[in-house]
């Protein structure tokens, strides 16, 4: 028996998800699914922070269910891009997606074809983003601009002197405006150099 979860979203606090819940329970019963969890958000679809959906995706990564059921695809995602990302991740986790209103079921042959298309579009989007970043970096280099974090001018002698005078790594990091890891690296490099000289 497959373990299923429901995701429901209503736009405002005075709306109720019972209509969505009724249809989803009926569909799950017809398919013989075991309902293990229900996630609900009472929030606009365009909001990026949605606790119910965030919890669903976290539980999906933990393998707590085999099927995600929703009343309509616009309930689960705030944009087409977001919907493709959610569907792509569920597919990678081996979790089926079923939408009541659109009759999408990624467990069947047509659904699997949809997943192939969705995955291809998601991969294309990722590749386009990478290519745009690379093009921007090439242009910056041609214009002579520095890429990445600016290099830090360290007063190594000062750091070593203050360390000898008993300052902690935290104090040194604060005084010189760098991380504790940077201070540790300077001290370690100095110690290594001294060992080689000895």
Give me the catalytic one of 11, 29, 48, 103.
11
29 is catalytic: no
3-state secondary structure the chain: CCEEEEEEEECCCCCCCHHHHHHHHHHHHHHCCEEEEEEEEECCCCCCCCHHHHHHHHHHHCCCCCEEEECCHHHHCCCHHHHHHHHHHHHHCCCEEEECCCCEECCCHHHHHHHHHHHHHHHHHHHHHHHHHHHHHHHHHHCCCCCCCCCCCCCHHHHHHHHHCCCCHHHHHHHHCCCHHHHHHHHHHHHHHHHHHC
Catalytic positions are 11
């Amino acid at each position: 028996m497959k373990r299923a979860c429901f995701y429901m979203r209503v736009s405002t606090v005075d709306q109720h998800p019972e209509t969505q819940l009724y249809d989803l329970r009926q569909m799950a019963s017809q398919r013989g699914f075991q309902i293990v969890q229900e996630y609900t958000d009472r929030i606009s679809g365009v909001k990026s922070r949605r606790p119910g959906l965030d919890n669903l995706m976290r539980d999906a990564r933990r393998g707590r269910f085999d099927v995600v059921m929703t009343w309509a695809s616009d309930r689960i995602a705030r944009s087409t891009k977001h919907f493709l990302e959610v569907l792509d991740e569920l597919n990678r986790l081996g979790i089926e997606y079923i939408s009541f209103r659109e009759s999408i079921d990624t467990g069947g042959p047509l659904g699997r074809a949809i997943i192939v298309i969705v995955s291809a579009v998601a991969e294309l989007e990722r590749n386009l983003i990478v290519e745009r970043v690379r093009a921007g970096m090439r242009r910056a280099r041609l214009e002579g601009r520095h890429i990445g974090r600016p290099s830090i001018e360290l007063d190594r002698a000062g750091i070593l002197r203050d360390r000898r005078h008993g300052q902690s790594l935290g104090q040194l990091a604060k005084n010189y405006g760098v991380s504790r890891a940077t201070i540790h690296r300077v001290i370690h490099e100095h110690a290594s150099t001294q060992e080689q000289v000895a």
